[in-house]
């Protein structure tokens, strides 16, 4: 060990500050010594970090940085960031902090032992770190030393691969009010940490150039770590420091050929995060996390497709995925169901907060994901005994099929499925992104008829969602105002297409599978918004969804339904009559948009647009482009 390291030492068994029993030394460096200790009042093991008062502790700058690290960590509450329990100065003048003791191995140790990780696991690792960075960056805190040795992989009661970010000793403040992190007068404050602080193999080009670090600098480091987790090898492999710097500054740092077998979305995520140009990287940890979640969703979609390909070779009824245990067996053997209540931990991963609604299918809850407190909506199926076991099994298959259909879709204007499965108690569930908004029907009650431009913006978003679904061979079959969620934030209005409960797969990669679980010739949907062919029980294609969308667009522009009959039989009679629905002639509209709506609402599906993409191409260009999600 180098002779210039601190020589301060606490004996094993010593009681520090009458609170912390020293068990053993864990590590030491110029920045301090860390001891595994027992907080006797709580009966828990902690990491006691002290600054040697005999050497570096005498330097005001070192002491100030130690205290600054304390104040930085004390601001952070994210579950993927190491928790600080206590800090102060002992009677002997020793500055100290007491941190959560994180058991497990570092990410570097895991990679040495296991090598390259599968994409899903790699993204789960990095996603947790990115969410922790989102909080830190929100406080203006740059970590500046992200590397695999500063990530601990641990197990919790609910998760096996739980990441903790360690060591904010190199962190610096990017916010304007840096004085809040200084405990001494300005003239005595330490010089700021050098912008080249960090571990060379993971430092950004701007850090190496001596430019000011930004949040994108942390994201560059995170991108290099993602590369390493995916390939099992560091992106920067040269052992010579000068050569390492050259790779960061001028040479292509990544051997992208090693990523060639990975999905293109994942390759692009790594490429963007590790761009030498700050402007080309993700603008924030939040944006990086969103991009990562989209890649995860794409991977889930591919896995679902592969499951379908396997199921096509089965002798059983082809489904998007059949449960390993027949649903009828599950129903016969199940005990009375106990649905979750507020305060319960559901499926071990979600804390139920409140019930949002109850219907014939079951219950929907507002919940928090325990790993990161992310807001989610949990949908739990009620196992209804009416109709017998066969009917209940059919409902269960339909419920799980809905999840697998949504998992295929990644358009930002389609609701995001985060998780689905079955609990140990036999409850089937979906977990969706939580949407804090109003359905279109409720929203229009407050807004009234929309202007042409506002309607166009929403229309383009809905069409984008349907275009992707139709390309996957999926028909929604229930497009209506109550299945379109309107979200308003930061002056922008966006839509999410929700509820694929009666969706049907008719073509594409899933062609040939019988997935709708409805009897041929049976009409399903909401009559007021169903196409004539849907009401007749005929075979359907994308024009059926587009007809329903035309009815919704009619309502957005006029403030009233296109079919106002209150009696269901009257609604059906009006729909199946061979007559086109037309907009009021008094409604002033762009001629191109009126032509589009007339074609959408044509009684004959052959006269309608044949795809959502075709509609998008035909629309007039809006004055203002559609806002980003």
Quick one: 398 and 505 in the same domain?
no
Let me know: does 408 contact 305? Beta carbons within 8 Å. Answer: yes
**pLDDT of 315:** 34
Quick one: 50 and 145 in the same domain?
no
Per-residue burial over 320-343, b = 16 or more CB atoms within 10 Å of its CB, e = otherwise: bbbeeeebeebbeeeeeeebbeee
- Mean of pLDDT values over 542-560: 96
Is the model more confident about 327 or about 202? Answer: 202
**pLDDT of 440:** 95
Residues in the chain: 629
Quick one: 139 and 276 in the same domain?
yes
Lowest mean pLDDT among 56-60, 252-256, 262-266, 272-276: 56-60
| Whole-angstrom distance, CA of residue 348 vs CA of residue 162 | 14
Nearest to 312 by CA among 499, 505, 500: 505
Per-residue confidence at 361, pLDDT binned at 50, 70, 90? confident
- Mean of pLDDT values over 358-386: 83
- Mean of pLDDT values over 339-366: 87
- Mean of pLDDT values over 189-212: 67
Q: Which pLDDT tens digit goes with each residue over 289-330?
A: 999 988 888 776 665 444 333 333 333 322 233 333 333 333
First to last CA, the chain: 53
**pLDDT of 153:** 95
The dihedral built from the CA positions of residue 151, 154, 158 and 159, taken in this order, carries a sign that is positive
Quick one: 443 and 341 in the same domain?
no
**pLDDT of 240:** 77
Quick one: 253 and 303 in the same domain?
yes
| Whole-angstrom distance, CA of residue 301 vs CA of residue 406 | 8
Quick one: 192 and 56 in the same domain?
no
Q: Which pLDDT tens digit goes with each residue over 597-615?
A: 999 999 999 999 999 999 9
Lowest mean pLDDT among 200-204, 258-262, 440-444: 258-262
Chain-wide mean pLDDT for the chain?
Answer: 81
Sequence-distant (≥ 6) Cβ neighbours of residue 448 within 8 angstroms: 559
What CATH number does the domain containing 75 carry? 3.30.200.20
Alpha-carbon distance values, 320 to 71, 401, 509, 576 (Å): 52, 6, 11, 32
Q: Which pLDDT tens digit goes with each residue over 398-412?
A: 888 888 899 889 899
Question: Residue 85 is inside which H or E element, if any?
Answer: strand 84-89
Is the model more confident about 479 or about 248? Answer: 479
Per-residue confidence at 59, pLDDT binned at 50, 70, 90? low
Quick one: 486 and 629 in the same domain?
yes
Q: Which pLDDT tens digit goes with each residue over 71-95?
A: 888 889 899 999 999 999 898 888 9
Number of structural domains found in the chain? 4
> Among the three residues 375, 401, 434, which one is the final residue of a domain in this structure?
434
Quick one: 154 and 52 in the same domain?
no
Lowest mean pLDDT among 348-357, 424-433, 513-522: 513-522
- Mean of pLDDT values over 502-513: 65
DSSP string spanning 375-405? EEEEEEE----TTHHHHHHHHHHHHHHHHHH
Q: Which pLDDT tens digit goes with each residue over 161-195?
A: 899 999 888 887 765 444 444 433 333 333 343 33
In a domain, 307, yes or no: yes
- Annotated catalytic residue, options 145, 167, 218, 478: 478
Quick one: 619 and 509 in the same domain?
yes
Q: What percent of the chain has pLDDT over 70?
A: 79
Residue 67, pLDDT > 60, answer yes
| Whole-angstrom distance, CA of residue 384 vs CA of residue 423 | 17
Q: Which pLDDT tens digit goes with each residue over 35-44?
A: 999 999 889 9
| Whole-angstrom distance, CA of residue 135 vs CA of residue 93 | 33
Question: Residue 484 is inside which H or E element, if any?
Answer: strand 484-489
In a domain, 319, yes or no: no
Q: What percent of the chain has pLDDT over 90?
A: 49
Let me know: does 99 contact 268? Beta carbons within 8 Å. Answer: no
**pLDDT of 29:** 78
| Whole-angstrom distance, CA of residue 550 vs CA of residue 461 | 14
Q: Which pLDDT tens digit goes with each residue over 86-123?
A: 999 898 888 999 999 999 999 999 999 999 999 999 99
**pLDDT of 578:** 64
Quick one: 213 and 303 in the same domain?
yes
Let me know: does 142 contact 215? Beta carbons within 8 Å. Answer: yes
SS3 label, residue 475: strand
Question: Residue 261 is inside which H or E element, if any?
Answer: none
Per-residue confidence at 32, pLDDT binned at 50, 70, 90? confident
State the residue range of the domain holding 74. 1-101
Is the model more confident about 57 or about 425? Answer: 425
Let me know: does 288 contact 219? Beta carbons within 8 Å. Answer: yes
Instruction: Give residue 509's Cα distance to chain centre.
Output: 26
Quick one: 553 and 592 in the same domain?
yes
Quick one: 458 and 528 in the same domain?
yes
| Whole-angstrom distance, CA of residue 426 vs CA of residue 381 | 10
Active site residue 545: no
**pLDDT of 112:** 95
**pLDDT of 119:** 93
**pLDDT of 527:** 86
**pLDDT of 324:** 32
Let me know: does 281 contact 219? Beta carbons within 8 Å. Answer: yes
Instruction: Give residue 375's Cα distance to chain centre.
Output: 10
Alpha-carbon distance values, 296 to 43, 111, 197, 263, 443 (Å): 40, 21, 32, 11, 31
Let me know: does 593 contact 452? Beta carbons within 8 Å. Answer: yes
In a domain, 316, yes or no: no
Under DSSP, the state recorded for 307 is H
| Whole-angstrom distance, CA of residue 396 vs CA of residue 501 | 11
Is the model more confident about 453 or about 325? Answer: 453
Is the model more confident about 430 or about 174? Answer: 430
Let me know: does 148 contact 106? Beta carbons within 8 Å. Answer: yes
């Amino acid at each position: 060990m180098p002779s210039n390291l601190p020589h301060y030492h606490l004996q094993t068994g010593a009681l520090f500050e009458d609170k912390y029993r020293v068990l053993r030394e864990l590590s030491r460096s110029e920045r301090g010594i860390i001891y595994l200790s027992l907080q006797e009042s709580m009966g828990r093991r902690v990491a006691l970090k002290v600054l040697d008062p005999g050497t570096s502790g005498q330097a005001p700058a070192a002491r100030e940085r130690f205290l600054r690290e304390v104040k930085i960590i004390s601001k952070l509450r994210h579950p993927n960031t190491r928790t600080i329990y206590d800090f102060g100065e002992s009677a002997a003048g020793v500055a100290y902090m007491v941190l959560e003791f994180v058991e497990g191995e570092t990410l570097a140790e895991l990679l040495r032992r296991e090598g390259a990780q599968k994409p899903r696991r790699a993204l789960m690792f990095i996603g947790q770190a990115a969410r922790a960075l989102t909080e830190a960056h929100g406080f203006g805190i740059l970590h500046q030393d992200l590397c695999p040795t500063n990530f601990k992989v641990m197990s919790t009661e609910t998760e096996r691969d739980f990441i903790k970010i360690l060591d904010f000793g190199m962190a610096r403040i990017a916010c304007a009010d840096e004085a809040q992190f200084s405990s001494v007068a300005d003239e005595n404050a330490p010089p700021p940490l050098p912008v080249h602080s960090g571990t060379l193999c993971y430092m950004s080009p701007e850090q190496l150039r001596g430019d000011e670090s930004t949040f994108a600098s942390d994201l560059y480091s995170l991108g290099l770590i993602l590369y390493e987790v995916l390939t099992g090898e560091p992106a920067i492999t040269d052992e010579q420091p000068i050569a390492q710097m050259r790779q960061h500054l001028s040479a292509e740092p990544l051997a992208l050929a090693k990523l060639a077998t990975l999905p293109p979305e994942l390759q692009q995520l790594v490429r963007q995060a590790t761009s030498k140009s700050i402007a080309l990287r993700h603008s924030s940890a939040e944006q990086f996390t969103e991009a990562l979640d989209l890649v995860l969703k794409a991977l889930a979609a591919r896995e679902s497709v592969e499951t379908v390909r396997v199921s096509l070779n089965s002798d059983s009824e082809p489904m998007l995925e059949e449960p390993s245990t027949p649903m009828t067996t599950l129903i016969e053997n199940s005990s009375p169901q106990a649905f979750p209540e507020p305060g319960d931990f559901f499926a071990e991963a979600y804390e139920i907060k409140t019930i949002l609604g109850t219907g014939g299918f079951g219950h929907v809850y507002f919940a928090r994901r325990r790993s990161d407190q992310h807001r989610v909506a949990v949908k739990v199926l009620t196992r209804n005994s009416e109709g017998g076991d066969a009917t209940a099994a059919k409902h269960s298959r339909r419920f799980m099929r809905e999840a697998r259909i949504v998992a295929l879709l990644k358009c930002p204007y389609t609701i995001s499925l985060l998780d689905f499965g079955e609990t140990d108690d036999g409850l089937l569930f979906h977990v969706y992104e939580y949407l804090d908004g109003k359905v279109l029907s409720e929203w229009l009650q407050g807004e009234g008829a929309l202007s042409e431009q506002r309607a166009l913006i929403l229309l383009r978003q809905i069409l984008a969602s349907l275009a992707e679904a139709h390309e996957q061979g999926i028909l929604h079959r229930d497009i209506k105002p109550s299945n379109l969620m309107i979200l308003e934030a930061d002056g922008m209005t966006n839509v999410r297409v929700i509820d694929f409960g009666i969706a049907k797969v008719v073509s594409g990669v899933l062609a040939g599978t019988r997935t709708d679980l409805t009897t041929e010739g049976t009409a399903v949907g909401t009559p007021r918004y169903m196409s004539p062919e849907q009401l007749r029980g005929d075979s359907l294609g994308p024009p059926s969804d587009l007809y329903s969308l035309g009815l919704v667009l009619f309502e957005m522009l006029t403030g009233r339904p296109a079919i106002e009959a209150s009696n269901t039989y009257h609604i059906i009679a009006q729909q199946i009559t061979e007559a086109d629905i037309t907009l009021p002639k008094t409604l002033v509209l762009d001629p191109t948009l009126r032509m589009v709506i007339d074609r959408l609402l044509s009684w004959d599906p052959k006269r309608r647009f044949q795809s959502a993409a075709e509609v998008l191409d035909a629309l007039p260009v809006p004055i203002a482009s559609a806002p980003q999600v």
